[in-house]
Amino acid sequence: MKKYTSINDIDNLTSWIEEAKELKENPLKHCALGTKKTLGLLFFNTSLRTRLSTQKAALNLGMDPIVMNVSGDAWGIEFEDGSIMNGSTAEHIKEAAAVVSQYCDMIAVRAFPSLKDKEQDEAEHVLKAFMKYASVPVISMESATEHPLQGFTDAITISENTKKKRPKVVLSWAPHVNALPHAVANSFVQAMQKMDVEFIITNPKGYNLNSAITKETTIEHDQIVALKNADFVYAKNWSSYEDYGKILNTDTAWMLTKEKLGNAKFMHCLPVRRNLVAEDAVLDSNASLVIEQANNRTYAAQLVLKKILENL
Ligand SMILES: NCCC[C@H](NC(=O)CCC(=O)O)C(=O)O
Ligand SMILES: NC(=O)OP(=O)(O)O
């Protein structure tokens, strides 16, 4: 594999899930595969799980991870081609990506959307610029529109925890105080579309995700109807896609409660705002899979790194 920037880079999700489970059983089995190979992790945005689990994954494979917070610590990077750089940016991505490629055998990048300019966000200008100007494989650690390491993790977690051959999975919009990206929801949708599950999205009107991603997936605006007989409920806030980046509705009635969850398992990518997205009784119950999801981030990343190492 030469890159991992989308759930669509997974050729066979079922076999990837099985391979990730094998790595989880025996994380150090391939501890020499990445010897003398360097993974560069570049963060334009904050992170706890991605930053630590991706390093842990690299260490399990014998790689050397090096990490940089690009925003603030590095020179301001210019992404526009042909621009006269007489403003606040000091270094063009053409040099920056080429230079990082001298030090690293792979580059992982986190770059959230602006949520102001839909066209620019959808063009994935930061991630795509790294892919264009880096001479080594690029991994997304959450881009403007996708979070493929999270989506793969969520697929592994559902596979591990399902008692049914074809469970019912609900992606349920949740209230939030900030305008959040669509990336986690988009990658979860893409992962569920590849799995043998009954999948429904529930969100208030005005919050439908990009139809190019949701495709034929059912969208139910009545949360109670959607949650009926669910086996897994994935709560997540996202800002409006239609009225791009806006908060239209902070209706606290969409918070996930123990009563609404019923017998389902609860999922969230974290970080989660307690008693806004989901109540304490949900997060503190045995039905919550959020810590196992965070654990599985390591093995999802480890499989991605392994597949790229095998192809270097
Ligand atoms: N990487 C996982 C989620 C990151 C981001 N969440 C956040 O920014 C939450 C921040 C807050 O709660 O203020 C998101 O939704 O895409
Ligand atoms: N779930 C996730 O990506 O968490 P971080 O933002 O903390 O990396």
Transcribe 244-271 into DSSP letters. TT------GGGSB-HHHHTT-EEE--S-
Please list, in sequence order, all residues whose beta carbon lies within 8 angstroms of the beta carbon of residue 291, skipping any fewer than 6 positions away.
Answer: none
**What average pLDDT does the structure give for the chain?**
98
What's the pLDDT at 16?
98
DSSP 285: S
Tell me the β-bridge partners of 39.
65, 106
CA dihedral 116, 176, 109, 27 (to 10 degrees): -160
Which atom in ligand 1 lies closest to the alpha carbon of residue 269? 2
What's the pLDDT at 249?
78
For residues 62 and 31, the answer to whether their CB atoms sit within 8 Å is yes
Q: Three-class SS of residue 26?
A: coil
- Does the beta carbon of 49 lie inside 6 Å of ligand 2? yes
What's the pLDDT at 154?
99
What's the pLDDT at 132?
98
Which-ligand-closest: CA of 49?
2
For residues 115 and 258, the answer to whether their CB atoms sit within 8 Å is no
**Dihedrals phi, psi of 48, to nearest 5 degrees:** -115, -60
For residues 44 and 72, the answer to whether their CB atoms sit within 8 Å is no
Which atom in ligand 1 lies closest to the alpha carbon of residue 272? 12
- Does the beta carbon of 184 lie inside 6 Å of ligand 1? yes
Q: What distance in angstroms lies between residue 221's CA and the mean position of ligand 1's atoms?
A: 23
Q: What distance in angstroms lies between residue 184's CA and the mean position of ligand 1's atoms?
A: 9
Q: What distance in angstroms lies between residue 252's CA and the mean position of ligand 2's atoms?
A: 23
Which atom in ligand 2 lies closest to the alpha carbon of residue 149? 3
Q: What distance in angstroms lies between residue 269's CA and the mean position of ligand 2's atoms?
A: 7
- Does the beta carbon of 48 lie inside 6 Å of ligand 2? yes
Closest CA to 293 of 159, 181, 175, 189: 159
Single pTM value for the model: 0.98
- Does the beta carbon of 273 lie inside 6 Å of ligand 1? yes
Which atom in ligand 1 lies closest to the alpha carbon of residue 270? 2
CA angle in degrees (0–180, nearest 5) for 144-148-153 = 140
- Does the beta carbon of 269 lie inside 6 Å of ligand 2? yes
**CA dist 184 → 3, 146, 222, 258 (Å):** 19, 6, 22, 23
In one-letter notation, the amino acid at residue 213 is I
Given ligand 1 and candidates 180, 188, 241, 275, which is best to mutate, with the most ligand atoms within 8 Å of its CB?
A: 180
Token reading at 197: 């599950």
- Spatial strand order of the sheet with 265-267 comes to 218-220, 198-202, 168-173, 232-236, 265-267
- Does the beta carbon of 53 lie inside 6 Å of ligand 2? no
- pLDDT (tens, 9 = 90+) of the chain, 312 residues, equals 999 999 999 999 999 999 999 999 999 999 999 999 999 999 999 999 999 999 999 999 999 999 999 998 999 999 999 999 999 999 999 999 999 999 999 999 999 999 999 999 999 999 999 999 999 999 999 999 999 999 999 999 999 999 999 999 999 999 999 999 999 999 999 999 999 999 999 999 999 999 999 999 999 999 999 999 999 999 999 999 999 999 997 789 999 999 999 999 999 999 999 999 999 999 999 999 999 999 999 999 999 999 999 999
Does residue 110 have a known ligand-binding role?
yes
* pLDDT tens readout for residues 240-286: 999 999 999 778 999 999 999 999 999 999 999 999 999 999 999 99
How many Cα atoms sit within 13 Å of 81 on the Cβ side?
5
Please list, in sequence order, all residues whose beta carbon lies within 8 angstroms of the beta carbon of residue 256, skipping any fewer than 6 positions away.
Answer: 172, 174, 233, 235, 266, 277, 278, 279, 282
Query: How far is 194 from 146, CA to CA, in rounded Å?
Result: 15
- Does the beta carbon of 187 lie inside 6 Å of ligand 2? no
Q: What distance in angstroms lies between residue 290's CA and the mean position of ligand 1's atoms?
A: 14
What's the pLDDT at 156?
99
- Does the beta carbon of 290 lie inside 6 Å of ligand 1? no
DSSP 181: -
Which helix (H) or strand (E) segment is 282 a member of? Answer: helix 280-283
- For tokens 């979860």, the residue is 188
Does residue 30 have a known ligand-binding role?
no
Q: Three-class SS of residue 68?
A: strand
Please list, in sequence order, all residues whose beta carbon lies within 8 angstroms of the beta carbon of residue 76, skipping any fewer than 6 positions away.
Answer: 88, 89, 90, 91
What's the pLDDT at 172?
98
Domains of the chain in start order, with CATH, are 7-146+296-309 (3.40.50.1370), 150-293 (3.40.50.1370)
What's the pLDDT at 250?
77
